[in-house]
Amino acid sequence: LLTLSDGTRVTTVRQWERRRRPELLALLADQEYGRTPHERIKVKHETVAVNPAALGGRATSQQVRFTFSGCGRTVEALLLVYVPNDRQGRVPVIVGYNYNGNQTTTLEEDVLPSPSLRWMDYSETAQARGYQQSRWDYEEAIGRGYAVATMCYNDIYPDKPSLRDESVAALFSDYDAEGVAPDEWQALGVWAWGSSRIADYLVRQSWVDRHGLALLGHSRQGKAALWAGAQDKRFAVVISNDSGCGGAALSKRAFGETVARITHSFPHWFCTNFNAYADREELLPFDQHALISLMAPRHVYVASAEDDAWADPHGEFLATGYADAVYALYGMEGLGTKQMPPVHQPIMHDSGYHIRTGKHDVTAYDWQCYLDFCDRHLKR
Ligand code: GCU
């Protein structure tokens, strides 16, 4: 982590920030996630619904339509925000994508279905109101003084290789429907970009503490959250829940999901240069601890689940711990141990980690830990 490609040892924050950090960002873009375009496309925001009596009167919900445009086309996305009614001044915000649409995160009747539902062939059950409400502990977050902002990730890039033309990527001027360049961004890169557009909106709102943005992602969205947080320093806390291969887990362990498996099953997630490391992880010029270390001196929290071997909990723990070296440069405290903690014994320093019992999921226990970690770092 602390050796430049020319062999120079990095011993100061200045060297890290001026040389090694940009070098790693460029490597991750070229070889794994693809380049994020510099072009700015048009985004329009319209508030389509406000409910001052949401969550039994404890919050105000706002639903905001984002219309992205470029190259004569548009893509629509819908942001759902819950803001605590009992607040003094600006509040921190937990930002995160949901999987099956905003309407699946809550039982509240007025929450509109996400626009991308029309692309996805979800069963009636999977798109039903409240279907994934257990993953969104709005009540707890609101009670602890946090707003929550969520959008369906499919609104930004519908998660199928065949739907690339319907994604936000197709609005950029160098988009080529016929094929992708080897270092071109694909879905993970586009999702990460989308999180930054949510941040653009939030930091302009009068109720938002712009230094209090926490980005939370589960699984494939845990991968995208780390990549977004690496690029966008407005996210003061980045939380990766069960992100596994291409997220927090070390690729070179090749335990659970491997580069070969993931690039084969999900050819539209990483840039195509990444395919070259299938069954050849040892050739990667970095590993995922590099991605995690790019959050420093901001805060990163990684979580695993005991029955989620596919995501390689031990690899997620080790990668988080290897990023300690960069926190140490800043005089900050990383995990501070190479010994994996037992279940339900979170480590919460400048970086953090926990493993809980149970399967691949986001649970109330995870939210408790994330809010505890945010209390430490975002509440002033
Ligand atoms: C699959 C995939 C993982 C991913 C997960 C998810 O299991 O192999 O890489 O994290 O889906 O997003 O739920």
Which residue's alpha carbon is at the smallest distance from atom 8 of ligand 1? 262
As given in the structure block, the two tokens for residue 114 are: 């996400």
User: Residue 380's pLDDT is what?
Assistant: 63
User: Residue 379's pLDDT is what?
Assistant: 86
What are 84-126's pLDDT values in tens digits?
A: 999 999 999 999 999 999 999 999 999 999 999 999 999 999 9
The Cα 59–Cα 147 span in angstroms is 9
Amino acid letter, 243: S
What's the pLDDT band for 319 if we cut at 50, 70, 90? very high
pTM of the model: 0.99
User: Residue 65's pLDDT is what?
Assistant: 98
Q: Is the CB of 29 inside a 6 Å radius of any atom of ligand 1?
A: no
Helix (H) or strand (E) holding 44: strand 42-54
Which residue's alpha carbon is at the smallest distance from atom 12 of ligand 1? 220
For the CA atoms of 6, 8, 12, 18, the dihedral, rounded to the nearest 10 degrees, stands at: -20
Q: Is the CB of 257 inside a 6 Å radius of any atom of ligand 1?
A: yes
What are 152-194's pLDDT values in tens digits?
A: 999 999 999 999 999 999 999 999 999 999 999 999 999 999 9
Average pLDDT over residues 25-43: 98
Contact 85, 139 (CB under 8 A): no
> Across the strands, what pairs with 341?
none
Helix (H) or strand (E) holding 47: strand 42-54
Q: Is the CB of 244 inside a 6 Å radius of any atom of ligand 1?
A: yes
Pocket test for ligand 1, best of 159, 216, 219, 261 (most atoms within 8 A of CB): 219
The CB-side HSE value for 189 (13 A sphere, CA atoms) comes to 23
Average pLDDT over residues 350-357: 98
DSSP, residue by residue, 310-354: GG-HHHHHHHHHHTHHHHHHTT------SSPPPTT--EESSEEEE
Percent of the chain with pLDDT over 90: 99
Q: Is the CB of 262 inside a 6 Å radius of any atom of ligand 1?
A: yes
The Cα 122–Cα 363 span in angstroms is 22
User: Residue 186's pLDDT is what?
Assistant: 98
Closest atom of ligand 1 relative to the 261 alpha carbon = 8
What's the pLDDT band for 225 if we cut at 50, 70, 90? very high
Q: Which residues are catalytic?
A: 219, 360
Pocket test for ligand 1, best of 32, 152, 160, 220 (most atoms within 8 A of CB): 220
User: Residue 224's pLDDT is what?
Assistant: 99
How far does the centroid of ligand 1 lie from the alpha carbon of residue 17, in Å? 32
Residue 286 in this model has a pLDDT that exceeds 80: yes
As given in the structure block, the two tokens for residue 332 are: 């900050």
Collect all residues with Cβ–Cβ distance below 8 Å to 40 and sequence separation of at least 6: none
Average pLDDT over residues 325-349: 98
Helices (H), the chain: 13-15, 21-28, 138-143, 153-156, 187-203, 220-231, 259-265, 288-293, 313-322, 324-329, 364-378
What's the pLDDT band for 365 if we cut at 50, 70, 90? very high
Residue 57 in this model has a pLDDT that exceeds 70: yes
Residue 249 in this model has a pLDDT that exceeds 90: yes
How far does the centroid of ligand 1 lie from the alpha carbon of residue 243, in Å? 8
Contact 47, 24 (CB under 8 A): no
As given in the structure block, the two tokens for residue 331 are: 């005089």
How far does the centroid of ligand 1 lie from the alpha carbon of residue 295, in Å? 23
Backbone angles phi, psi at 52, to 5 degrees: -75, -10
